Structures are given as C-alpha cells and as structure tokens.
Amino acid sequence: MKTITLISGDGIGPEVVGATRKIIDATGVKITWEECEAGAKVFKKGVGTGVPTETIDSIIRNRIVLKGPLETPVGFGEKSANVTLRKMFEMYGNIRPIKEIPGVKTPYSGRGIDLVIVRENVEDLYAGIEYMQTPGTAECLKLISRNGCEKISRLAFEFARSEGRKSVYCAHKANIMKVTEGLLKHTFEEVAKDYPDIESGNIIVDNCAHQLVKKPEQYDVLVMTNMNGDILSDLGSALIGGLGFAAGANIGDNIAMFEAVHGSAPKYAGKNNINPTAVLMTGIMMLRYIEEFDAANAIEQALFVTLAKDKILTRDIVGDVGAASTTAFTDAIIGNIGKTYETQPKRNYKPLQLPRVSNDAVVAKQRQVDGVDIYLENNGDAKSVGKQLESLCNGTRFSLKTMSCRGVKVYPAPEVEIASTDLYCCRFMSSDINDGDIIDLLQRLSAKFHWVHIEKLNVFDGVAAYSKIHGE
Ligand code: NAD
C-alpha cells in the first residue's frame, strides 16, 4: 500500500483532482491518499508561504504528491505556493509530455506527435534574482550550475530510457549566451557519452520553436533551461489540444510532485464542466513513477476509448452543445476500464532511474584574474568618460580596454554610433592582479563616479570564463 499526499488545490482543483482520484481508485490499485491543504485557503489563514507545516511533513513522509492548481490571492503572500513547494524540495526537473490524444481533433491530428519536454526547474532567470542597477536600467541574473546541468541532462536520458525513447536533443541559446546556455550544451554533450544507446544532438532554441510548430513529430525528448522550457512546453500543449490535456511532473532527488500545467481556472470552478484529462494524465505519470504500470496503462486505454471511440468530450473540446460534464466524463472513463484502444501503440515502460549527481564543488586546477568589469551609472558622453577612466588608470596595474552599453562597445569609438543608456560596463585589463588591486581601482573610481557592481574576469584552467563584448 502506497501513501500519497493529495493536495486538491484551488478553483477547479477539487473537481479535476477528485475525478483523477476516483478513476485511479477504480483500477483497484492500492493507494492511501493523505489529503493536505495548500494555496488560497492557507494564505488566508495567515500562513505566508501558502503551505502549512502539516503539508510539508506529509510530503517529507510520503515523498510522492498529486497536486491541483494553487492560487496566490491578491494581498496575501509574496511568493506562489507552487514555486515554494518546487524550491523547498529542490524538484529540479519538470517533465511535460506532449502527445497526440486520440479523439481530440487539432490541426496536427494524425501526425503522431509524441514528445517530452524536460525543463530545468530551479535555476536560470526564474530564480528571480533582480536588481535595478540604476533608476533607468534593470538586471536579472541567469545563474546556471554545472551540477544542475548534469542533473537535468541525465534526467532527460534516464526518462528516455524509462519510456524506450530513441533520442534526446538539447535545445539551447548557446550561440548567444555562450557561458550560461553553453554550460548546458557542453555538459549535455559530456553526459550523452554515457548513453550510447540513445541518439543525441542539439538545436538552437528559436529554431526548435519553429520546428515544433512546423514538424513536431520529429522530436522525442527535448531538454532545456527553465525559461526556454516554460515557453516551449506551453507552445507544445497547444499542439495537442490545449491546457485541458497538458500533464506534468516535478522531479527531485527525494520527492516527486505531479501537477498538470494548467491553473485554477476560477471562472469554471464548481460548474462541473471542466476537463480533468490533464490531471488524469498527470496521475498516469505518477502511477508509472511508482511502478504501477498496469493501472497506468488501464487508465490510459480507458481514456482513449472514452475520447476516440465513445466520443465523450468536455466543453473545452466541443463547446456547450453536446459536451459531457466533468462527472459524466469521469464515470465514462471508469466504465471503460479494462477496454483497450487497439491502434494505440504501447511503450515499454520501465522504472525511472533517478540520476545521482555529486553536489561537490566544481574545481579549477588553475585560475587567474585577467581584469575586472566595473559597471558605472553615468549619462555622460562615452568618449569623455573613457578619457577620464584612462587617466584614472595611470599609476595602477590596469588599463581600460573597452566601455560598453548593454553589451555593445561604445568606447574606443565604435564604427557606428550606439545609443547609450545610463549604465556603462568598463572593462579594465591587467595580469596577475589580486583583490587589493581591484579595491584600489574602485576607490579611485568612486571619487569621481558612481559604480554599481563589478565582475571579475576569471580564467579557469586556461579558458576565459567571461563573454566578449560585441565589437570588442
Ligand atoms: P488557467 O490555466 O487557470 O486558465 C486559463 C484558461 O485555460 C481557462 O480560462 C480555461 O479556458 C482554460 N483551462 C485551464 N484548465 C482547463 C481545464 N482543465 N479544462 C478546460 N479548460 C481549461 O490560467 P490563469 O487563468 O492564468 O490562472 C488562474 C490561476 O491559476 C492564477 O491564480 C494562477 O496563478 C494559477 N495557476 C496555478 C498553476 C499551478 O498551480 N501549477 C499554474 C498556472 C496558473
């Protein structure tokens, strides 16, 4: 008997999660559901995270969660309860299958879309680390770790193996963000060597978006960073019929939380007309995760029979006339358990082997600092600021190499005039400098300028660990 933490959630949550629970129970699979609260009700009780201690304890005990959508009511709590849960339990992988559903007509019907997006879930721009550098310029930090890249890459390959899939492609923007997106691409290529049974490759993410609309059936498993995965997986859900069909799993080393992509759709709450398929397919993923393969297959087949053979469809697919209510749709699926939808090819599902990646620090055998980028708040003319900085370097170990604005060189004089903002990045080069040299330079600067932040120009194992400036 497996115990699972069940969070019904807000809005349509109780209807769609309730339907899923009823269908899973109807297969006879032995599950005890531990009902817990999170979301709007909890925020309103004054719990600032939206997740009470009893729910956290239940999750730690059971390690598997089936969760409905959660709302953050206006005026309560700073952060979404969903994000809190994902981060609290370091659920680093978000798996979103995008699979053509029999009986659900879309412009792509008949093309056999059957792909999975594996999205990194805790790093990247979505860590939400942001600063106004000046009153006029904002910054968001895109932090990507080597260990995080290894974990998500291995998870993608392991997931492919668990479903007998043939290929894994890394979709990235390493052509522009060579250091951050490049870290995922390079790490992925290293990890791929451990999976010779699976074809691997990479694709630039904007081309991937284009290909997903043009020929989505060419893909099997795609792995990508957090924001790219967020955007492309929503695009993917539209290919197969919309949010009513988009399932998802959040995977961590110790805890897995299964939740559909959609939210609480408050305007449909309590109307008994919402589509529970996304949460049901999420429940199917959960059953496979806990190795209840027969129950998962039985539900999938019953769902397909209901949709494609019996043509029982909810309002989001057929509109108001002739639509089945949520409860009628649920009962029809339960009535079809045991039936098979013959033409649907079954995958050879196997237990997912979770990757165990060391959290040890990545060390460089050799390191040096080549210089420093200092960001200055300044609206002045680039040439006159540049000249002042050059004379300020006299008597120090630094020389001014370039000034740039939003990554583009503005000094020494670029070939074409570049629009400036109120933030210059000033690149000072030297060799073999130490922190004292940098502090000395900052002190000189601060007498005349308003510096905002600095970045060291590190060289790790002989490789420059910083980007070049456009026009440098
Ligand atoms: P939403 O996904 O709740 O709804 C958008 C629209 O999609 C709905 O109006 C409806 O037309 C359609 N839709 C969604 N689920 C459907 C289903 N099961 N069947 C049929 N149609 C469906 O997005 P939203 O309106 O932007 O968000 C509402 C609330 O949900 C917000 O408070 C948001 O923060 C929250 N939210 C939570 C999660 C989560 O818990 N993981 C995810 C997204 C949004």
Going by DSSP bridges, is the β-strand pair 367-377/249-251 parallel, antiparallel, or unpaired?
unpaired
* Ligand 1 centroid to residue 263 C-alpha, Å: 3
Backbone angles phi, psi at 376, to 5 degrees: -115, 135
Atom from ligand 1 closest to the CA of residue 68: 40
In whole angstroms, how far apart are CA 210 and each of 166, 214, 226, 243, 440?
22, 6, 19, 20, 50
Closest residue CA from atom 36 of ligand 1: 263
Residue 323 near residue 127 (C-beta atoms within 8 A): no
Residue 343 has pLDDT above 70, yes or no: no
Residue 246 near residue 96 (C-beta atoms within 8 A): yes
How far apart, in whole angstroms, are the C-alpha atoms of residue 76 and residue 48? Answer: 7
Residue with tokens 């604005």: 405
471 or 228, higher pLDDT: 228
Mutate to test the pocket of ligand 1, among 10, 43, 243, 320 (most ligand atoms within 8 A of CB): 243
* Ligand 1 centroid to residue 113 C-alpha, Å: 24
Closest residue CA from atom 21 of ligand 1: 244
Closest residue CA from atom 10 of ligand 1: 265
Confidence of residue 415 (pLDDT cuts 50, 70, 90): low
State the maximum Cα–Cα separation within the chain, in Å, rounded to a whole number: 85
pTM above 0.85, yes or no: yes
3-state DSSP assignment of residue 235: helix
Residue 137, beta-bridge partner list: 134
Ligand 1 site: residues with CB under 6 angstroms?
Answer: 16, 69-71, 82, 243-244, 259, 262-265, 274-275, 278, 316
Closest residue CA from atom 1 of ligand 1: 263
Closest residue CA from atom 22 of ligand 1: 244
How far apart, in whole angstroms, are the C-alpha atoms of residue 119 and residue 123? Answer: 10
How far apart, in whole angstroms, are the C-alpha atoms of residue 434 and residue 369? Answer: 8
* Ligand 1 centroid to residue 276 C-alpha, Å: 12
Atom from ligand 1 closest to the CA of residue 81: 40
Confidence of residue 80 (pLDDT cuts 50, 70, 90): confident
Mutate to test the pocket of ligand 1, among 264, 282, 307 (most ligand atoms within 8 A of CB): 264
Residue 183 near residue 170 (C-beta atoms within 8 A): no
Atom from ligand 1 closest to the CA of residue 72: 32
Closest residue CA from atom 26 of ligand 1: 263
Q: Considering only 41-55, 74-88, 110-124, 229-243, which range has the smallest mean pLDDT? A: 74-88
Question: 360-402: per-residue pLDDT in tens?
Answer: 889 999 999 999 999 999 988 899 999 999 999 998 999 999 9
Closest residue CA from atom 11 of ligand 1: 265
How far apart, in whole angstroms, are the C-alpha atoms of residue 379 and residue 423? Answer: 7
Closest residue CA from atom 41 of ligand 1: 69
Question: 163-178: per-residue pLDDT in tens?
Answer: 999 999 999 999 999 9
Our separate counts of H helices and E strands in the chain read 14, 18
Residue 456, beta-bridge partner list: 372
